[in-house]
Structure 1
């Protein structure tokens, strides 16, 4: 269970349960009780990616439980197209409580600094509903490299500038940007080799590259089999699946670099509907059956905070990614 980057959004289990109890009590107050008439018809949850990917699977896992909790179907609608089509559709939807956007960090915090033109405004077009969870990354190495820690890798890279290659899904992806930021923070020179998908993992196993940066599900099996060695994870704390693997920040203080998923609604959506959705999301995310399913998909949840704290988190994330894109000198496309 992991804290988000914004320290005000960190909860232990007792605080999360207390928050859930508070929301349940608030649901009985007159203003919020009006949400009992909502929903009176199916609810739409837009996923701005194609069916079958991690966001789609997570949305469908949660939507089934939401449907039972709300007494109405929650229909997952895929809108592929680098995130912009789905976000645009959600932004232009009626703010009546029946449309929500299940969005990754790219849609709500990174795209404004990577794209010349966006057909939506992450800040102005959406109201925060729920924080789903963190999606950390890992740096893994070929055992042939003969390094066991991030510190040893940094020392080896400094002694052999430009001779070690790391694979990623591309410079404009989160794993690619993680590798580039590592070069800057550690003061090392690595050769960046972009691949499509998880091919970089296979080539690192084969020895064609020495390192790769990937999401946890992409590397879990090869690490468990001993084909590759995990050197660091980008989360604020060590992961339950990889308890012996340190975080980047244990070697490079303050170095965190994570994806995440959040749910937002069109600006102007009735407060009562948002509060009801926030309550139900928190119940679902803290459920003992759902949390392991999310972790298997590389998503680590603490439950969701109230919408105001999610607003603060999104603001801090936009500032963070603005700095990252500027530091990496990535030009908008």
Structure 2
């Protein structure tokens, strides 16, 4: 076969595949879709996963089943999805950890940028900076001044090495030029218990977990990590003291690389529709989350941007996982 005949044959094959892919998307979902959450049940990830599963079923007439696969800072569940058949029936509830882990881990069994197909960004969930209420600290500036006057004497907790609240504090340390001592825990709940018990003095955590303790006077919420102030939360943004500071956690939907484009587009459209629903917006607001939405291309750009943004911060922190 000469080159011209080969090219014509390839073109004909592609032409046959395009209608087949379109038909596949029209029939999708023909069976239950598995949504892998790479964290333990509960928490913010669980809220978003359950919401997406319900709305997906309501909108498509199909079903979406949430399966928790926790471990290795989301790597176990993410790897499982990356190695699943690219047919749209195994999806990932990915988070900002996909941008942090490539620098944090010495080696990974998958590449988030190559082995996962972006679908849609789901939500952004800012953290809140909180301190032990017994400290004479009522603002980000006062925290920085106190830390400078008492280098290394403030302990801060996190959900674990490389967690988003660990990296957020490392960013604050770098930008403010202060020293705080990191105490990693197995989750945000354990770190919060340590703050309430006086074992640590500072931490970042979602507002929904901190508000009741702030109201009771046991801790003091200082500022939010979103780029600007959040509606419904009477707190300044950290960026008002440290310009350029932003450290919101994002959740997003991914599929295995190679999933047909028509299925990706259908998933993206259904997800954007779910995020715009009044019931969804009310639930997200209740949990201090901001809906994102958008295209697969916008999600890929977000992952690329955050991978580059977090790499120097992870390296400067010295955190490393084998």
Q: Same fold (TM over 0.5)?
A: yes
Which whole-Å CA distance do the structure 1 matches of 2:81 and 2:160 have between them? 28
Change (3 A) 1:46 1:210: closer
Distance 1:146 1:112, change over 3 A: same
What is the correspondence of 1:91-240 to structure 2 with a 5 Å cutoff? Answer: 91-106=82-97, 108-197=98-187, 198-240=189-231
Q: What CA distance in whole angstroms lies between the structure 2 residues aligned with 1:211 and 1:84?
A: 27
- CA RMSD in angstroms comes to 2.2
8 Å CA contact retained: 1:32, 1:275: no
Which moved further from structure 2: 263-272 or 74-83? 74-83
Report the alpha carbon displacement of residue 264 of structure 1 after superposing the two structures with TM: 0.7
Aligned length: 301
Can you list the C-alpha shifts for 1:14-67, whole angstroms capped at 9, x where unaligned?
xxxxxxxxxxxxxxxxx9687322222222212222333432332122101101
Distance 1:210 1:280, change over 3 A: same
Could you tell me how far apart the structure 2 residues matched to 1:140 and 1:41 are?
45
d(CA) in 1 for partners of 2:318 and 2:140? Answer: 25
CA contact (8 A) 2:126 2:224 kept: yes
CA distance, structure 2, for counterparts of residue 285 and residue 181 of structure 1: 30
Supply the distance in 1 between the matched residues of 2:216 and 2:135 (Cα, whole angstroms): 17
The answer to whether structure 1 residue 330 and structure 2 residue 319 are counterparts is yes
Question: 1:199, CA displacement in angstroms?
Answer: 3.5
Q: Secondary structure at the match of 1:55?
A: helix
Residue 75 of structure 2, aligned match among 84, 91, 97: 84
2:254 corresponds to: 264
Residue 81 of structure 1, CA deviation: 2.4
C-alpha distance in structure 1 between counterparts of 2:196 and 2:71, whole Å: 31
Q: Which has the larger radius of gyration?
A: 2
Contact residue 175 and residue 215 of structure 1 kept, 8 A: no
| Deviation per residue, 1:79-126 (Å, 9 max, x gap) | 2222222222211221122221111211x2111111122221101111
- Unpaired runs of 5+ residues, structure 1, are 1-30
Alpha-carbon distance in 2 for matches of 1:171, 1:92: 26
Displacement of 1:253? 0.7
Partner of residue 62, structure 2? 72
Question: Alpha carbons of 1:81 and 1:143: their partners in 2 closer, same or farther (altered >3 Å)?
Answer: closer
Judge conservation of contact 2:70–2:77 (CA < 8 Å) in 1. Answer: yes
Q: How big is each residue's C-alpha offset from its partner over 1:232-287, in whole Å with a ceiling of 9 and x where there is no partner? A: 211112122323x1111111111111221111111121111111111111111121
Distance 1:91 1:246, change over 3 A: same
Bigger mean CA deviation after superposition, 127-136 or 43-52: 43-52
Structure 2 residue aligned with 1:308, among 283, 297, 300? 297
- Tell me what 1:319 maps to: 308
- Once the two structures are superposed, residues 286-333 of structure 1 have per-residue CA deviations (whole angstroms, 9 ceiling, x without a partner) of 21211232344443213x111111111111011112121122222342
Worse-matched range after superposition: 210-219 or 200-209: 200-209
Q: Pick from 249, 269, 275 the counterpart of residue 265 of structure 2.
A: 275
